[in-house]
Amino acid sequence: MAGILSYDFVRHAVEAAFLASITCGFIGAYIVARRMVFISGGITHASFGGIGLGYFLGINPIFGAAIFSIMSAFGIRLVSKQTDIREDSAIGILWSFGMAVGIIFIYLTPGYAPNLMSYLFGSILTVTSTDLGLMGILATVTVTVFMLFYRTILFISFDEEYARSHNAPVETFNYLMLTLVALVIVINIRVAGIILVISYLTIPQSTANLFVNDLKKIIILSMIISFAGSMTGLFLSYYWNIPSGATIIFVFVLIFMIARGIVYLRDLKLRKISISDR
Amino acid sequence: MNELIKLDNVTAGYDNGIVLRDVSLTVYDRDFIGVIGPNGGGKTTLIKLILGLIKPLSGTIQRFDNQEGSFIGYLPQQSQIDRKFPITVQDIVLSGLMSAGKGLSRYTSKDKKQAFDLLGQMGIGHLAKRTAGELSGGQLQRVFICRALISSPKLLILDEPNTFVDNRFEHEMYELLQQFNQKMAIMIISHDVGTISYFVKTIACVNTYLHYHPSNIITEEQLAGYNCPLQIITHGDVPHTVLQKHDHSHDHDHDHNLTHPEDHKHE
């Protein structure tokens, strides 16, 4: 294992997994707690439109994706609030619209679209130092926002109307968090791909939620699970020569299932004890 | 007596129509108002106006708010809460101290002690580190009462507090409310009109219009005069009232209110 760390691309992959675990630990816990998984899926796929636009205009597709993801996140919120279109319908519309726009732009772009597959399925092994720089900045911003406003975020998420009755800046925070969600998704598309990035935001958090029930603890535990799972997946993909992104997700789900089994056995044991007590 | 909240000719509603019309109500220090009325009559809208969650279409609302921290403590209906949300009981109570300026400052050990003391008073101090999902409906209700009280509000508003509460705690809760009433005004919305009329000092009947009754005993004749869909039933010493199906059109035709009063009388 130590030998493979001497390769640059492997070190980059480890650093990327570390930074992804941090940003997804915070934002994933927020998404799972607020039941925003579906809207996050919508934002993720809508950002493909921006990737297509990036190819078409010849700019870094990640910047196009960032614009599309923030606009679709705000769009979903505004449409479901201001009109009689329901939120899940709005998500479905923008989800597929973004994908369609992306396909059209890529088709219109002359020549071959390099790295297209890496945006769809992720490619942790080809992460560049520019990507790592962006991931580092976003991780710093995310950590700062949560350190400063943890309780405000927690209280607004738990009971929005109550927060409003206390004159808390609910809308400002909702849009700030939505922006962070969109950016974290886009940045981690390089690691896990459009199709798989939602796994980083939900599986480690759901696994953590099996053992702990406090947002702060879910954040920390999901980071650990996320990094450990990424390392295991990375190693296995190297060892068996299979795609890294898919292997990492496979490991995430495996960890989740083992954890669920442990919880089941523990509850069974507790129930037996409480029965024999009587 | 100090005025806390003053609504003057307030009309309010949503996209699909007017819910409250020409409502005037003044809440004074140490009032104990029972807010009654049928579903859809505008009780919750009235509370939202007072909390500042919605703006009136016309009329004015004055709040005589001169204290730091929250001036109103609020106990929402539990149905709007996600009970699986990962938050500890202690944090729920501390969220009652949230205010516009509190975003950056941390909660002090004094705040935490106060939260713990309140939970202790409610008999659930041992649950402080548990999470919302692990609690029963009645326990969670006490947690929310603690959240409403932690800012030492001048006015405590409870929206249907007895929905999830077991009978034993219900009685206890009303006794606690009477203690709190020594220090603050209370407004309580309830379907269980009978029980609250025993504890409250005054009654506001909300059914598009608001009729304020400056006592906790209402006679049938008065109700008819208020055009309020209620009927008085008496069990022993405790006056009880129940809702009666009622057309609250503003034609001042009260006759159908009293068509079958016997149907609702218990012996």
Q: Hey, what are A161's tokens?
A: 């109307």
Task: Answer yes or no: pTM beyond 0.90.
Answer: no
pLDDT score at B256? 37
Instruction: Give the percent of chain B with pLDDT over 70.
Output: 72
pLDDT score at A276? 66
More confident residue, B12 or B221: B12
Q: How many other C-beta atoms lie within 10 A of the C-beta of residue B69?
A: 15
Q: What DSSP state is assigned to residue B106?
A: P
Q: What domains can be seen in chain A, in order of their start residue?
A: 3-196 (1.10.3470.10)
Q: Find the mean pLDDT for residues B33-44.
A: 83
Gap from B156 CA to chain A (nearest CA, Å)? 13
Task: Give A169's contacts in chain B (Cβ within 8 Å).
Answer: 100, 103
**What would the DSSP string read from start to end of chain A?**
-TGGGGSHHHHHHHHHHHHHHHHHHHHHHHHHHTT-HHHHHHHHHHTHHHHHHHHHHTS-HHHHHHHHHHHHHHHHHHHHHHSS--HHHHHHHHHHHHHHHHHHHHHHSSS--TTHHHHHH--GGG--HHHHHHHHHHHHHHHHHHHHHHHHHHHHHH-HHHHHHTT--HHHHHHHHHHHHHHHHHHHHHHHHHHHHHHHHHHHHHHHHHH--SHHHHHHHHHHHHHHHHHHHHHHHHHHT--HHHHHHHHHHHHHHHHHHHHHHHHHHHHHHHHHH-
A27 and B CB contact within 8 Å: no
Q: Find the mean pLDDT for residues B109-118.
A: 87
Gap from A202 CA to chain B (nearest CA, Å)? 15
- Given a cut of 80, is residue B165 above it in pLDDT? no
Gap from B161 CA to chain A (nearest CA, Å)? 15
pLDDT score at B101? 57
| Contact (CB<8Å) A157/B103 | no
Task: Give A215's contacts in chain B (Cβ within 8 Å).
Answer: 86-87
The partner residue sitting opposite A158, judged by closest CB among B52, B95, B100, is B95
Residue in B closest to A82 by C-alpha: B15
- Given a cut of 50, is residue B246 above it in pLDDT? no
pLDDT score at B112? 86
Interface of A with B in 121-150 (CB under 8 A): 148-149
Structure ipTM: 0.85
pLDDT score at A15? 94
pLDDT score at B210? 82
pLDDT score at A214? 92
Task: Give B72's contacts in chain A (Cβ within 8 Å).
Answer: 165
pLDDT score at B224? 60
A270 and B CB contact within 8 Å: no
pLDDT 10s digit of each residue in chain A, 278 long? 566 677 888 889 999 999 999 999 999 999 999 999 999 999 999 999 999 999 999 888 899 999 999 999 999 999 888 888 888 999 999 999 999 999 999 899 887 777 788 888 888 888 889 999 999 999 999 999 999 999 899 999 999 988 888 888 899 999 999 999 999 999 999 888 998 899 999 999 999 999 999 999 999 999 999 999 999 999 999 899 998 888 999 999 999 999 999 999 998 888 777 766 55
Q: What domains can be seen in chain B, in order of their start residue?
A: 3-65+154-264 (3.40.50.300), 87-151 (no CATH)
Gap from B169 CA to chain A (nearest CA, Å)? 24
Tracing tokens 């130092």 back to the chain, one arrives at A129
pLDDT tens figures, B247-266? 444 444 333 333 333 444 34
| φ/ψ of residue B84, rounded to 5 | -90, 5
pLDDT score at A34? 94
pLDDT tens figures, B219-235? 665 556 555 555 444 44
Closest CA to B201 of B222, B187, B183: B187
Closest CA to A162 of B37, B83, B144, B110: B144
pLDDT tens figures, B79-93? 778 888 999 999 999
Residues in chain A: 278
pLDDT score at B257? 38
Given a contact cutoff of 8 angstroms between Cβ atoms, the answer to whether A198 and A43 are in contact is: no
Task: Give B108's contacts in chain A (Cβ within 8 Å).
Answer: none
- Which residues are CB-contacts of B239 (< 8 A; sequence separation ≥ 6)? B194, B197, B198, B216, B217, B232
Given a contact cutoff of 8 angstroms between Cβ atoms, the answer to whether B183 and B29 are in contact is: no
Q: Find the mean pLDDT for residues B170-182.
A: 84
Task: Give B76's contacts in chain A (Cβ within 8 Å).
Answer: 159, 161-162
Gap from A66 CA to chain B (nearest CA, Å)? 28
